[in-house]
Structure 1
Amino acid sequence: MKKIIIAFSLLLTLAVNAQNQRFIYEYRYSIDSTAKDKPETEIMFLDVVSKGSRFYSKDIFESDSLMTASMEKQLQAGNGEINFSGIKFKGKVVHSVEKTYPDYSVRFFNNLSADEYMVQDERKQDWKILPDKEKTGGFSAQKAVCSFAGRKWTAWFTTDLPIQDGPYKFSGLPGLIVKIEDASHTHSFELKGIKKLPAGYEWKSTKEKERFNALVTVTEAKYRKAFKEYLADPMKSEKQMLAQGVEIQEIDDSGKLVTQDKGKKEKELKMKNDLKKQNNILELDLLK
């Protein structure tokens, strides 16, 4: 992965106005506890505007944009069957997080099989700010700790950037979180760069995007129940759709659409085996 060039010359401007900026984080994670020595990385964007922020994967966003553009082009050409061959799909972190200002309420979006959930997460981090200070990524930062979602976290925040936000669901400190890591050192977010948002950028909530199935809006407690049901039967929602006569298609590694019944048993077995390995997910308390 190419290193992102850190552009902190915007510090003075950001100190005056941290809005309309894209904060670029590197997310390092090991969701399989038996492979802690082989962490994966993904670049994440935290887009900040006056009404709130949105945190999402750079690769997933780019792949979705390419797929949408290709689909629109093929539909305009009158193609009866959409083909995404030639598009290289990247990214593994499919969830995203939105916060609304000034209350910093959290909306979490994630797919469980064929269902997409929007979770209203009312939990807050109970931070303890410590006197420790260090230079992090060119910023003067101070240490804070909290317990959240089954993990103990250590964060470093800077008041040089006057926004009480941070990566993922983290917020509530008197400055931007520039680095945060859990006690097991298997999940961490670190600020790697800052950019102004592109000209004409329009912040749109994920809940407003077009989708085939209705968005499932739940509380954090109900999502926890749905997540456990998903672990027990990861293809439950797809089976229900098939029983209703809905034809489900998905994209294979080459970018071609394939019908759901092709290799269904093999897919279900693989999904269950893969989920068993995911015993160190970010929100560890979901597995309890």
Structure 2
Amino acid sequence: MKTILNVSFLLLSVLIFSQTNRFFYDYKFVPDSTDKAKVMNAVMLLDIDKNGSKYYSREKFVSDSTMKADITKQMQGGFGNVNIKRSNKPGIIYTSVTKSYPDYKVLLSEKIGQTGYKIVEDQKPEWKILADKQKIGEYNTQKATTSFGGRDWIAWFSIDIPFQDGPYKFYGLPGLIVKLEDKTGSHIMTLVGNKKTEASTVEELKLGNVITFGIDDKDIEVSKKQFKKVWKDYLADPTKDMKQRMSTLPAGAVVKMKNADGRDIDMNEMYKNMEKNAREGFKKNNNPIEPELFK
């Protein structure tokens, strides 16, 4: 389904460049606990600099960057109309995790419906370091275990890589986590490469006063308890968030909805399709990396 907004806006992007250590992880996971033969994978990036780290999907990053570049190209003349197109391959992992040094404040970015949230982590991994050692790829690693987020985890870390960090929310070992696996084998993250890069981040992307369904929205910072409440509300009515957003659109904004065949559909049909797709998704994606967060 495509969403087209016919709007006028002023685009402002501020890029900041800094030297970053980028680590590439192969993430294999089982989204449906009733179908363990279906294993999906994604390339995840862990960017580390002097201020902290960010763990996120490479595919989604490329998709978002392409979309923003397209918007910039359309609006080079300043004010005008824009056709906002979503990528056909936006990635399958929408979550990201940021850690700030030296206090290691951890924020999980997660989306429910059309709204983004930053969930403040109030616990840290408590590790038990074991004597077991093994070589993973080119790295000499040592074993550690922890219980976190409703799962038991096994980590292999390397003191040869002097960062006390790792994929997702995990950190606090004497070296970088090279491999991380939950004991059910449902979620496995393995380091497969690294490089130094001049990473860029878009500080600000303004689209006037128009609600643009996730492009320029600021994530809402919440506690775990608050997030769980929002999640339960979403399970009860997956269309609630979209209905609230539609009710606040500025006067004159035109929203055109089309189905997969390109046929125009009205709002009632859109809401019906949204609810159907959401409930099908609940059934197929019942094995999150952090099950305690979705109880």
Conserved in 1, the CA contact under 8 Å of 2:60 and 2:92?
A: yes
Residue number in structure 1 paired with 2:227: 223
Tell me how far apart the structure 2 counterparts of residues 140 and 21 of structure 1 sit (CA, whole Å).
Answer: 19
Tell me how far apart the structure 2 counterparts of residues 105 and 57 of structure 1 sit (CA, whole Å).
Answer: 20
Specify the SS of the correspondent of 2:124.
coil
Q: How much does 1:268 deviate?
A: 1.1
Alignment of 1:270 onto 2:286: no
Q: How much does 1:215 deviate?
A: 2.6
Residue number in structure 2 paired with 1:53: 53
Specify the SS of the correspondent of 1:263.
helix
Q: How much does 1:81 deviate?
A: 4.3
Q: How much does 1:92 deviate?
A: 0.9
Structure 1 residues 257, 214: CA separation in 2 closer, same or farther (over 3 Å shift)?
farther
Q: How much does 1:88 deviate?
A: 3.9
Q: How much does 1:110 deviate?
A: 1.3
Structure 1 residues 91, 223: CA separation in 2 closer, same or farther (over 3 Å shift)?
same
Tell me how far apart the structure 2 counterparts of residues 43 and 251 of structure 1 sit (CA, whole Å).
Answer: 31
Residue number in structure 2 paired with 1:31: 31
The aligned length equals 265
Tell me how far apart the structure 2 counterparts of residues 267 and 131 of structure 1 sit (CA, whole Å).
Answer: 51
Conserved in 1, the CA contact under 8 Å of 2:238 and 2:274?
A: no
Alignment-mate amino acid for residue 271 of structure 1: A
Conserved in 1, the CA contact under 8 Å of 2:239 and 2:274?
A: no
Residue number in structure 1 paired with 2:41: 41
Tell me how far apart the structure 1 counterparts of residues 30 and 235 of structure 2 sit (CA, whole Å).
Answer: 19
Deviations 1:24-49 (CA, angstroms, capped at 9, x unpaired)? 00111112112211110000000010
Tell me how far apart the structure 2 counterparts of residues 277 and 110 of structure 1 sit (CA, whole Å).
Answer: 18
Tell me how far apart the structure 1 counterparts of residues 23 and 257 of structure 2 sit (CA, whole Å).
Answer: 32
The aligned runs of 1:153-164 (5 Å cut-off) are: 153-164=153-164
Structure 1 residues 213, 90: CA separation in 2 closer, same or farther (over 3 Å shift)?
closer
The aligned runs of 1:238-277 (5 Å cut-off) are: 238-245=242-249, 262-277=269-284
Higher RCO by CA contacts (8 Å cutoff, separation 6 or greater)? 2
Structure 1 residues 213, 195: CA separation in 2 closer, same or farther (over 3 Å shift)?
closer
Which ranges in structure 1 are unaligned for 5 or more consecutive residues?
1-18
Of Structure 1 and Structure 2, which has the larger fraction of its residues in helix?
Answer: 1
Conserved in 2, the CA contact under 8 Å of 1:162 and 1:176?
A: yes
Alignment-mate amino acid for residue 32 of structure 1: D
Structure 1 residues 82, 219: CA separation in 2 closer, same or farther (over 3 Å shift)?
same
Alignment of 1:124 onto 2:128: no
Conserved in 2, the CA contact under 8 Å of 1:100 and 1:106?
A: yes
Conserved in 1, the CA contact under 8 Å of 2:28 and 2:187?
A: yes
Structure 1 residues 177, 259: CA separation in 2 closer, same or farther (over 3 Å shift)?
farther
Residue number in structure 2 paired with 1:102: 102
Tell me how far apart the structure 1 counterparts of residues 122 and 173 of structure 2 sit (CA, whole Å).
Answer: 17
RMSD: 2.7
- Scaled by the length of structure 2, the TM-score of the pair is 0.81
Q: How much does 1:214 deviate?
A: 4.1
Residue number in structure 2 paired with 1:7: none
Specify the SS of the correspondent of 2:286.
coil
